[in-house]
Amino acid sequence: AMAGCGWARSVRGLLLDVSGVLYDSGADGGVPIAGSAEAVRRIKASGLKLQLCTNETQATRENFVRKLRALGFDISVAEVTAPAPAACRLLKERGLRPHLLVHDDLVPEFAEIDKTNPNCVVLGDAAENFTYANLNEAFRLLIGMEKPVLISLGKGRYYKETDGLKLDVGAYMKALEYACDVQAEVVGKPAKRFFESALAELGVPPEQAIMIGDDIVSDVGGAQQCGMRALQVRTGKYRPSDENHPLVKPDAYVNNLAEAVDIILQQL
């Protein structure tokens, strides 16, 4: 699967997508993908650095890590790069006071942020909070601004849960973009700045890092745009048609995270 991957010899750190790589998500909390918990342990034992790079916005990092640990993953909060903390840094830098249209469980991530008299809207995967009333409220705030500022935590089209496919934040982002004639600023994969944050937290330059993900565009394409190598796993949202993607070609395919780690550790 990774013939000619001599470049893997120079690797010093791995960025891992979470949903579809470590576990399959669902309303029931999700199930680990076979071999992934052991693979995380082997990465750490090898001395390679590791950082999770996720677009998860339905929970604080604390609760997200609690869930991962319950599923058997040896992960700490500092090892998670997620959109909400990145958005908080951006809000502070630019003096922005957000109106939040996000999942209830994400709200504590914005505890330190001034939310009075909003001058921007932050949109996450709000799930059940995507009501007609809440969408109209966010829209009215935006259209009432002299220059509307819409910050979107990711731009995914949809995702799969145990009870079926769900529209992701990107669909609602497009609705507000069209209604307000504005372009959202995306915080999360595949934004270059977000990968750069994850690399900074990993402490490794892009040419010595490998991204491993299941999303051909957001994970693989986004990481390659930042100068990283990127592997696509054949788990999660992977589809065979991804291997004919017109624009993005992974540096290698692997059946799952366990196989990726096998091959990378053999090169070291």
Work out whether 216 is an interface residue with a second copy (CB under 8 A): no
Min dist CB 46 to a second copy, Å, is 39
Work out whether 182 is an interface residue with a second copy (CB under 8 A): no
Work out whether 157 is an interface residue with a second copy (CB under 8 A): yes
Q: Which is nearer to a second copy, 64 or 130 (CB)?
A: 130
**HEC profile for the chain?**
CCCCCHHHHHCCEEEECCECCCEECCCCCCEECCCHHHHHHHHHHHCCEEEEECCCCCCCHHHHHHHHHHCCCCCCHHHEECHHHHHHHHHHHCCCCEEEECCHHHHHHHCCCCCCCCCEEEECCCHHHCCHHHHHHHHHHHHCCCCCCEEEECCCCEEEECCEEEECHHHHHHHHHHHHCCCCEEECCCCHHHHHHHHHHHCCCHHHEEEEECCHHHHHHHHHHCCCEEEEECCCCCCHHHHHCCCCCCCEEECCHHHHHHHHHHHC
Q: Which member of 176, 184, 216, 230 binds a second copy (CB under 8 A)?
A: 176
Work out whether 168 is an interface residue with a second copy (CB under 8 A): yes
Q: Which member of 139, 194, 195, 238 binds a second copy (CB under 8 A)?
A: 139
Q: Which member of 131, 162, 266, 267 binds a second copy (CB under 8 A)?
A: 131
Work out whether 179 is an interface residue with a second copy (CB under 8 A): yes
- Interface residues with a second copy (CB under 8 A) are 127-128, 130-132, 135-136, 139-140, 143, 157-158, 164-168, 170-172, 174-179, 181
